[in-house]
Structure 1
């Protein structure tokens, strides 16, 4: 493996929460910042990065917009998951006081997670492409009236003061990431708890979704996530994203998938990956 490939891609600038997730999961790889989610996934497809750290949902702000449209089209495989606790900091240029702040910049999710802070300070929220980018912006601007919400790493990288720690509204603020690679890495069956991510479409007939999901119920398979979204710009065509507990080679999920395929058009069921359940899932979700 060449040195160029020993990288893990993430969307955002150095110091972003995704950057911190990369350090937590694969400290042996060099974090590779990318401008967009498309660029991040393309870096893995092109072999410029070994894998990608992909944020998919946050416990406060909900799912990350548009990412579910990109995942099945990427051609990549999910090889793991990671839950990152988000500890948001209010950052300012050195010497800034809370009463100086008139504007707070950050990613839309970070702003949504810190409404109480902005109400307290009477500051105007301004959306930025990502948390670290907002930190870099205020560092370069040098204006004490403009602050940012971002992680501790961003403060260290851009020479900012931490004006207040833990500014998120909820203590449970956690983001779930998927680790994606060009080749699938499936753990052996019956060797610990697994999660299988499935993308599928059903026929446009009454009760098709009910019948398609029936196999999970009758075989005792727990679904931890089920989402739908439109495809091809049509209001009559929906695609479903499912996280199911279990391994496709274990009997319960194997039978459930057989029933799912029976009620879906041919080729409309795709397994995006089977990977070990993260300890956070085991300790906090069930």
Structure 2
């Protein structure tokens, strides 16, 4: 599906779309007929490769640099988004997916203030103020998806600080849905379980013992893959799910039931 003058493609912005789950989300949403704007922190070549893949589908795509942990750069980022929209003949985008993140694995008793502050900046302050800054460019009737974690429902040692940030984002999601409802904007949260990516040093993917443990505790008998998550995000952005709002959608294959 490509854009035409009479029926332009929906336009979705996905933070952290150069690799891992963000890359998979971008490709899955593009296959659904959306133009895509992704952000990357440092992996410009990987981001360019994602853009090329999306353009091969016949959709428009672009990548912009952004460090979601640096909220003082958000005004400049909004200007860059506005310029890209103008290039494409748009003044608004339709969907925002707050995906960018980083992991810290540390016991509660050993978590440092620096680690905690970094998680706050990236996983709570970042999506809070990035969404706020982008709201003037988000179309009425649009969608916002925040990304959480299965770790807000079940507890695994070493993730106290990370899970606490994600729990805060889940509460924020409900407030956003309530306050943005007047504009027809639906806000939901997707909570992946353990996924084989390079997130957190790639432990779930590369540590055979951990991988086997997670698989043994998952009803479907395996660890998740990026392809298990991108389709969930694409589905929530489809017209068929326009009435889903303020919900936490866990995509974990049934972990720790």
Q: Is the structural similarity TM-score above 0.5?
A: no
**Structure showing the higher strand proportion among its residues:** 1
Larger Rg computed on CA atoms: 1
The two structures have a TM-score, normalised by structure 2, of 0.30
